Amino acid sequence: MFKHLLKNWLKANKGGINNGLSWLIKAYLSLVYKTIRWRYVMPVGYSIDEFDNAKQTIFVMWHNMLALAPYAFQKHKQTYVLVSPHSDGQIIANILSRFGYHIIEGSTNRSPIAATRQILRHLASGCNVAITPDGPRGPIHKINSNVIGIAKIANVKIIPVSFKVSNYFRFKSWDRLIMPLPFGRGEAIIGDAISSYDNEELAHTQLENILNKL
């Protein structure tokens, strides 16, 4: 009886619970970011100013880096993030929205047409798009989206991004999500851009290898 009532209450208050949880996580991350000693690791010939002022760029990172990403993109006010419409995706969307990012709901490998149209429209208007190409359900560290095809159609470059922190907790989720802990060292690692898509299969392999190497 109690379990049934609790289940119904959670279902009825799902939106409020998600909002409250996203507020707490955003507040926690904002505090933790301030305690970490950060540095950027940039590829040769690419500066932090170019990164901060990038336009019409697709940024890609593995799904388990999402709790670290808001710090690196704090100056990117015209960046749209592709987020799954699933319940866990809604929490992620709420957190990122609180950090000031715009959300595209959808997936490039499940009902991809609407999401792809939005991505192309925002890129054409000069904005950036961030994609986790192994999301929303994995497998971990394997590209399962059409990010290469989208970049080819839009004629934009892809910049791989990764992160490293000395203090962290790793969740037992499918992606082994990394949650930073306070008072450590952190690195935002920017990889070499990919801009040639004549051989899509080769570009796909190249991007996956760069992300895993980072």
Residue pLDDT, tens place only, 117-168: 999 999 999 999 999 999 778 899 999 889 999 999 999 999 999 999 999 9
More confident residue, 18 or 155: 155
Q: Which residues contact 77 (CB under 8 A, 6 or more apart)?
A: 100
Q: Which range marks the domain in which residue 50 is found?
A: 2-213
pTM value? 0.88
Instruction: Tell me how many domains the chain contains.
Output: 1
Average pLDDT over the chain reads 87
Contact 123, 58 (CB under 8 A): yes
Q: Which amino acid is at 178?
A: I
At residue 162's C-alpha, the angle toward residues 160 and 91, to 5°, is: 100
Q: Can you give the pLDDT at residue 7?
A: 40
Q: Can you give the pLDDT at residue 186?
A: 96
Q: Can you give the pLDDT at residue 137?
A: 80
For the segment 77-117, what is each residue's pLDDT rounded down to a tens digit? Answer: 789 999 887 767 788 889 999 999 999 987 766 657 888 99
Q: Can you give the pLDDT at residue 90?
A: 82
Distance CA 13, CA 16 (A): 5
Q: Which residues contact 76 (CB under 8 A, 6 or more apart)?
A: 52, 54, 101, 128
Kindly report the CATH number assigned to the domain that includes residue 39: 3.40.1130
Distance CA 74, CA 7 (A): 38
